[in-house]
Structure 1
């Protein structure tokens, strides 16, 4: 379920110190973005943050639930998003600290990905594009 209007506005306000935070519906959930990077996800007005190898341990320690997942062909697929501790919603400064860690994880994940053909077309000079 996507984020309610009220919860989305609350998050935008709380996460404003990160920069311009936007939200977009995705696959029945709401993606939370900053600098065009998805660092969070909301489902049923529950916030999940992006994790990677560098910040996963902190989420495991504070987790009150398993990572966000879905079923596909009888298998459970874990997404790299873990539920933010509920107490953070009452502690704005700490929420921003956790959000910055999630944004850093999103940057690291994005840096590991190879550029797509579409990205190459946007970045490459026209002479190189003709050779592609």
Structure 2
């Protein structure tokens, strides 16, 4: 599902205080990066944040859901991506709160990838 340009602009506005955000393509969506750390992905009109297991639990406590998609063998869940809480979609301060939390596992993953190269 292609990313809605207006939704992408909204997400970029929400996270503008993080600094320069680079975008990329990811499985038909748009990934958001700070430096080499992918901290969020947009699929259609949904925004998913990078999360490790403890952070995913925090997101779940705020009402977030992990990214899921249908396959021939059933629904596949990607626990490392979880939706931004609805309350943060229109609150830049809350969105930044979550984005800063998501940057931690995103930066760890980026460092691990860089080390393995």
How high is the TM-score relative to the length of structure 2?
0.84
Cross-structure match for 2:90: 90
The 8 Å contact of residues 69 and 77 in structure 1, kept in 2 or not, is answered as yes
Cross-structure match for 1:63: 63
SS, match of residue 55 in structure 1: helix
Structure number with the higher strand fraction is: 2
Q: Show CA shifts across 1:37-86 (max 9, x none).
A: 11101112111100003312211112343x11334562543221001111
d(CA) in 2 for partners of 1:114, 1:40 = 19
SS, match of residue 108 in structure 2: helix
The 8 Å contact of residues 40 and 49 in structure 1, kept in 2 or not, is answered as yes
d(CA) in 2 for partners of 1:64, 1:19 = 25
Cross-structure match for 1:33: 33
The 8 Å contact of residues 2 and 25 in structure 1, kept in 2 or not, is answered as no
d(CA) in 1 for partners of 2:22, 2:42 = 12
Larger Rg: 1
d(CA) in 1 for partners of 2:63, 2:43 = 16
Alignment root-mean-square deviation, CA: 2.0
Cross-structure match for 2:46: 46
d(CA) in 1 for partners of 2:82, 2:46 = 10
Larger RCO (CA within 8 A; separation ≥ 6): 2
* Shift in Å, 1:11: 1.4
SS, match of residue 90 in structure 1: coil
Cross-structure match for 2:24: 24
Gaps of 5+ in 1: 120-132
